[in-house]
Structure 1
Amino acid sequence: MSYRIFANALRKPIASKTLLLSSGTLLAALAASPSAQAQVTELEGITIYSANKTPTEAAKVGSSVEVITEQQLASQSRSFVKDYLEQLPGVNFSQNGPPGSTTSISVRGANAAYVKVLVDGIDISDPSATTTQTAFEHLLVGDVSRIEVLKGSQSGLYGGDAVAGVISIETKKATKLGFSHSGGAEYGAYNTFRGAYTAGYATANGSNISLSVQGVDTDGFSAAAVGREDDGYQNLTFSGRGEYILSPSAKVFFAARSLDAEHNYDGFAPPTYALGDTDDFGKSVQHAGRVGTEFSFLDGAFQNTIAVQGMKVERDNFSNGLSSGWFEGDRVKGEYKGVLTFNDQLSLLAGADWEQTGAENNNSTGRETADVTGTYAQLMMEPIDGLVLTGGGRIDDHSAFGNFNTYRLTAAYLVPGTETKFRASRGTGFRAPSLDELYGSYGFAPDYGNPNLKPEESESWDAGIEQGFLDGRIKLGVTYFELDTDNLILYNFSCGMPGALCLTNVEGTTQRKGVELSAVALVTSGLAVTTGYTYVDTELESGDRLPRVPRHNFVVGFDYQPIDKLELNVTAKYVADTIDSNGADLDDYFLLSAKASYEVVPGWKAYVRGENLLDEDYQTTTGYNTPGLSVYGGLTMSLPNN
């Protein structure tokens, strides 16, 4: 398994420069166990896709990127994408109750509105939400093969909403010749059943198609901490992707996904209007797809991609069985990207895109829209051996706010003959107010939206060093980062008073800064240990902190394979010093999880896993429950088993 991949890599007679773990893969190793060892391999075998919008060797990437591989996902067999993301340095989540409840991410202190999420290149964020953001509560992991987390302001390549970074998710692709399939089923705590199945077919010339279906059904637990009734959740998700090779220099591709989810939640019931048990429930339906073509000229030196994508989401809330609100959002986007490689030391990336988003709800007077047209370019060069520089910029023309210019610069230096890598990046970003922030109206607050809001503008930088020891058996890394935002949009708690708008721009600069530390070690041929610590400090111009951003976050993972077919995984996480949006301190908490799996027959594994094994009582949002000690058992298969 993964620890053996690590051990075998260390035995290979490779050049010293290939032993250094890249920033991204080193930090990804902290996510958990087997992942760690699987990531500590030769750099030639590691490719980063999101950092430069084109495949790039990890050693040449100057941005902070973390990678979660399919092996990592299998090592823990958890249910949601967020379960893995929250183990990465600098990433944290808060949730309003059981599975399916509103879930919010923070990356280096910036919330979901500043993080662009792509699944097979599809932007799945909801334009009808309060801020344009992704509903992480519905992102299941059963069809996922790889996740890249690109940190820092990335608007120079990805446009608005990529202020804190980009999360790029790739679903499973058929790579084995002929027919193959994989899947699994699980049952456990809270009467939870989860299943996933993927079937694929690939031909000798590279054409392939794969289709996945996955779902979860759980009774859940009370969303309100004072409640007693269970709040359940159901999710059924379909996805697929494929490529058809037209010639050695051209292909067409598609990706599609659809989800249908329903969740119960607790509200504020009369006469006291305190959070407690209610019969409220919500439904969410989302459909999205992307089609395009890739073709090359000049013997492959000039690579081109043209694609179009669309997405629609519908959400309904019900109270006592009656509709209490509906929301609809949609997006259509066209894109072109070209990469011209002059030689091994010089390449040029250029592209353009256009998108229109729309949104309306039961209180709006009609459908509101926004259009953005963007053009960008980036030069990548290696002036001396081991030093790779990139520099690029982007111009976005927003239908409501005009032009915004952003840039990104990176540098990576792998010291020849050593296991030392230095890297740094600097970039700017902007976030235009969402349609809801501009025009939203909810009856009780007719002036919720503020059409006079100004876009937020940001600048970030980070710098880090990774160092290997003992021929790569020990890897250490440290990164310092800062993210400053002007014109931050915040909720005004005077909302509802005459003349008071609910949303306003905050004067001055909002600061986020911190340090990420990481280490991974192969203790023995069958035992690997990974650790990561993140410190994040946030401050508004007023001196107040941003809510739900822990100052301290520590993760440690152990992987042990005592015998050939038995794999053990233990992950622990400690979170401390967090405040909520009401200014109240949230309790520190420590979570311990473990999994044991055994290969019953080739291709089939049985496992048992436990979460919150110490039955920690904690909250990530004031007044909302979190799961207690939970045990699950499952079976996975992958056939044919190579």
Structure 2
Amino acid sequence: MAGTVKQSARVEVGSYDTKSVSYGVRGATDRADIALGVEHFRTSGFSAVSPKGKSADDDGYENTTLTAKGSYDLTENLNLYFAARGTKGITELDSPGQPNLKDDMHYRQVSGKVGANYLAFDDRFFSDFSVQVTDIKREQDFEDASKQNSVFEGRKVKLDYLGEYDVSEKTKLNFGGDWSKEFSKTNDPIDDSSSIGGAFLQLMIEPLNGLSLAGSARFDQHSEFGSFVSRRLTASYEVNEDLRVRTSVGNGFRAPSLYELNHPSYGNQNLEPEESLSFDFGIDKKWLGGQLSTSATYFNIMTDDLIDYDFSTSKYNQIKGTSRSQGVELEVRYKPIDRLVLTAGYTYTYSVGPDKKRLAHVPLHDLSVAMNYDLTDDIALNVNGTYLGENLGSDWPNIVDMEDVFLLGAKASYDVTEEVELYVRGENLLVQDYELINGYQTSGLSVYAGVSASF
């Protein structure tokens, strides 16, 4: 049983006294594999206060993350696996209404998953069962001694089953179910829990060459908010090797999380579930023998009782009635020569609330462009730009216009050897002074350099 071991490491330093290091090791045999990793990130940050005044100070952040995953083939058809992740971090925040004071937000999350999957009937039947546990704690330590620390602790346990059966070459059946229970505890004190269980069935068929149809239904039962049935239909037709049309329609349901309900500072116990109905239609087309590819999609999403976070009040709230988000997504990819790839994506989103007024924090125009050019076999260049136009901000109780912004970034990398890469990247190269959320400052010109290696 021969085994292999591979290692990887990365170090990056840059603006705002930013430092990031990571290391990973992976081992594998014919029947088993395991991977371990550690990463530490730290930055002094920049002030989130806008406009920046005498009371503004840098808001730092740091975290450490440990990961582990592995699997073992107990037999040719039975595989056991696990995954674990732990993160601990601190974020410096400006105290609400007192930017001269600094609060610390301590964050810890530990999660684990174990499972098994099984193949049967000549690999036509696939079955997977898993158990997951996630434990979270967030504590805001106020510098103002007159305020009580804000503490939220949450835990989630989930059982999940997924089955896939190839009925025939052109017919596939997916089915499964899951059950989860959440627990939350705060210093208010609030001690709460909720559970939700569901089952789903999906049928995928290809009645004609090039035509793929799928229909699914799911039933959910929530301990606090009752039952809900969601359905979805999708269709895709390949007219020829260069042209495809596709569409889907479906409804959805989302109950508010215990964090959204119960967090001492941000929670809102009056939240109700949101329900949605969505539709999309798209066309994918290739040109010039595949050198140029384009994609266009129209989407329309209607949401009843949308759950939103209001940055101006620092609270989750509910927009009663029907909110609508509709628009068009366009994508283009062009490869004129082997070493050069040009891409662009544009999204027009018209998002309004029940009062027909546009919602905050959803730009009307979102454009991204990029150029990737391999100067040599060892040197690669990337230039990317993002334009956000006609965005709105929230300044309770008013909605305000935000300035349009164009952000330019670039990256250059050099393969010293097959195992070692050096790179440098820059963000906000045009030194734009902008906000994405009204009243919250963003990063200025920043440059980072790093080295990554595998051995």
Same fold flag (TM > 0.5): yes
- Find 2:304's aligned residue among 486, 492, 495: 486
- Match status 1:193 vs 2:9: no
Indicate conservation of the 8 Å contact 1:528/1:560, yes or no.
yes
Query: Does residue 419 in structure 1 map to residue 242 in structure 2?
Result: yes
Aligned pair partner of 1:350 in 153, 156, 175: 175
Partner of 1:584: helix, strand, or coil?
Answer: strand
> Does the CA contact (< 8 Å) of 1:244 and 1:251 recur in 2?
yes
Q: How many Å separate the matches in 1 of 2:317 and 2:413? A: 52
Tell whether 2:56 aligns with 1:228: yes
Alignment partner of 2:434 out of 618, 623, 627: 618
Cα deviations across residues 279-311 of structure 1 (Å, max 9, x unaligned)? 211110000011000012211111110100000
Matched position secondary structure for 1:488 = strand
Taking the aligned partners of 1:212 and 1:387, their CA distance within structure 2 comes to 43
Q: CA deviation at 1:400?
A: 1.0
Structure 2 residue 231 is matched with structure 1 residue 407? yes
**For residue 302 of structure 1, what is the aligned residue in structure 2?**
125
How has the CA–CA distance of structure 1 residues 455 and 252 changed in structure 2, closer, same or farther, with 3 Å as cutoff?
same
Aligned to 1:587: 403
1:336 aligns with 2:161: yes
Which residue does 1:359 correspond to in 2? 184
State the alpha-carbon separation in 2 of the partners of residues 412 and 354 from structure 1.
Answer: 31
Is structure 2 residue 221 aligned with structure 1 residue 397? yes
Please list every run of 5 or more consecutive structure 1 residues that lacks an aligned counterpart in the other structure: 1-175, 496-501
Change (3 A) 1:491 1:249: closer
8 Å Cα contact 1:552-1:577 kept in structure 2: yes
Q: Distance in 1 between matches of 2:177 and 2:439?
A: 45
- Following superposition, the deviation at residue 602 of structure 1 comes to 2.5
Question: Residue 3 of structure 2 contacts residue 29 of structure 2 at CA under 8 Å; is this kept in 1?
Answer: yes
Contact 2:152 2:264 in 1 (8 A): no
1:212 counterpart residue number: 37
Matching of residues 166-565 of structure 1 within 5 Å: 178-205=4-31, 207-225=32-50, 226=52, 227-268=55-96, 273=97, 276-320=99-143, 324-364=149-189, 366-416=190-240, 418-438=241-261, 448-450=268-270, 453-489=271-307, 506-565=319-378
Q: Which amino acid aligns with 1:577?
A: E
CA RMSD of aligned residues (A): 2.1
CA distances 1:414-453 after superposition (whole Å, capped 9, x unpaired)? 124x3111111111101113335555655xx9x9522xx5
User: How much does 1:620 deviate?
Assistant: 1.1
Decide whether the 8 Å contact of 2:268 with 2:317 is kept in 1.
no
Q: 1:581: Cα distance to partner?
A: 2.2
Aligned-partner Cα distance in 2 for 1:381–1:256: 36
2-side partners of 1:293 and 1:345: how far apart?
A: 27
* 1:629 equivalenced with 2:442 (yes/no): no
Offset of residue 630 of structure 1: 0.6
Residues 593, 613 of structure 1: 8 Å contact kept: yes
2:382 alignment partner, SS class: strand
State the number of aligned residues: 444
Moved more, 220-229 or 626-635: 220-229
Distance 1:222 1:529, change over 3 A: same
Deviation readout 1:341-396 (Å, 9 max, x if unpaired): 112101111101110011121113x4201110101110011111111111010000
Give a deviation string over 1:18-76, Cα, whole Å, max 9, x none.
Answer: xxxxxxxxxxxxxxxxxxxxxxxxxxxxxxxxxxxxxxxxxxxxxxxxxxxxxxxxxxx
Residues in 1 aligned to 2:287 and 2:7: alpha-carbon distance in whole angstroms: 40
Q: Is the 8 A contact 2:424 2:450 kept in 1?
A: yes
CA distance in 2, matches of 1:503, 1:560: 44
Cα pair distance change 1:255/1:249, threshold 3 Å: same
Query: What letter corresponds to residue 304 of structure 2 in structure 1?
Result: D
Contiguous gaps of at least 5 residues in structure 2: none
1:578 to 365, 387, 391: 391
1:297-333 Cα distance to aligned partner (Å, 9 max, x none): 2111111101000001001111228662111111001
1:449/1:503 contact within 8 Å kept: no
Distance 1:178 1:626, change over 3 A: same
Aligned residue for 2:285, secondary structure, equals strand
8 Å Cα contact 1:465-1:477 kept in structure 2: yes
Letter in structure 1 aligned against 2:269? G
Counterpart amino acid of 2:408? L
Which amino acid in the other structure matches residue 637 of structure 1? Answer: A
Q: Take 1:375 and 1:283, find their aligned partners in 2: how far apart are those partners? A: 37
Residue 158 of structure 2: SS of its match in structure 1? strand
Task: Report how far residue 202 of structure 1 moved.
Answer: 1.5
CA distance in 2, matches of 1:504, 1:538: 17
Q: Using a 3 Å threshold, how does the CA distance of structure 1 residues 437 and 561 change in structure 2: closer, same or farther?
A: closer
TM-score in terms of structure 2 length? 0.93
Is the alpha carbon distance of 1:231 and 1:488 closer, same or farther for their aligned partners in structure 2, counting shifts above 3 Å? closer
CA distance in 1, matches of 2:161, 2:344: 40
Tell me the TM-score normalized by structure 1. 0.66
Spell out, residue by residue over 1:159-190, the C-alpha distance to the aligned partner (whole angstroms, 9 max, x if none). Answer: xxxxxxxxxxxxxxxxx961011121011101
Once the 2 structures are TM-superposed, how far is the Cα of residue 407 of structure 1 from its aligned partner? Answer: 0.8
- The structure-2 alpha-carbon separation of the partners of 1:470 and 1:503, relative to structure 1 and needing over 3 Å to count, comes to closer
Letter in 2 for 1:195: V
**How far, CA to CA, are the matches of 1:433 and 1:602 in structure 2?**
48
Q: Deviations over 1:198-246 (max 9, x none)?
A: 11011234x2111111121111111212243211111101112111011
User: SS of the counterpart of 2:416?
Assistant: strand
State the structure with more CA Rg.
Answer: 2
Aligned pair in 2 of structure 1 residues 248, 509: CA closer, same or farther (>3 Å)? same
SS of aligned partner of 1:626: coil
Q: Does 1 or 2 have the higher relative contact order (CA < 8 Å, sep 6+)?
A: 1
* Secondary structure in structure 1 of the residue aligned to 2:122: helix
2: distance between equivalents of 1:505 and 1:591?
Answer: 32
- Higher helix content, 1 or 2: 1
SS in structure 1 at match of 2:437? coil
